[in-house]
Amino acid sequence: MAVQKSKPTRSKRGMRRIHDSLNKNLQLLSIDKNTKEIHIRHNLTKKGFYKGKKII
């Protein structure tokens, strides 16, 4: 069984995690039905719409 020689640093851990999240960010964008705004999925648009309905 492999055993690590030393604990990975916070920097190395962060570098690995940032590369994982970059691919996911492109998938999280969506376009609203009514306003045609680009927004993050499962979140309100800047104008206050969610799933094509005015919330705020």
**pLDDT one-digit tens code per residue, 20-56:** 666 666 677 888 888 888 888 888 888 888 888 888 8
Q: Please state, in angstroms and rounded to a whole number, the distance separating the CA atoms of residues 17 and 23.
A: 11
Has residue 48 been placed in a domain? yes
- Report pTM: 0.48
Count of domains for the chain: 1
Range of the domain at 41: 29-56
CA distance 47 to 43: 11
Decide: helix, strand or coil at residue 9.
coil
CA separation for the pair 32, 50 (Å, rounded): 8
Distance separating alpha carbons of residues 40 and 28, to the nearest angstrom:
6
Q: Does residue 46 belong to any structural domain of this protein?
A: yes
22 within some domain: no
Q: Is residue 51 part of a domain?
A: yes
Question: Residue with structure tokens 């691919």?
Answer: 23
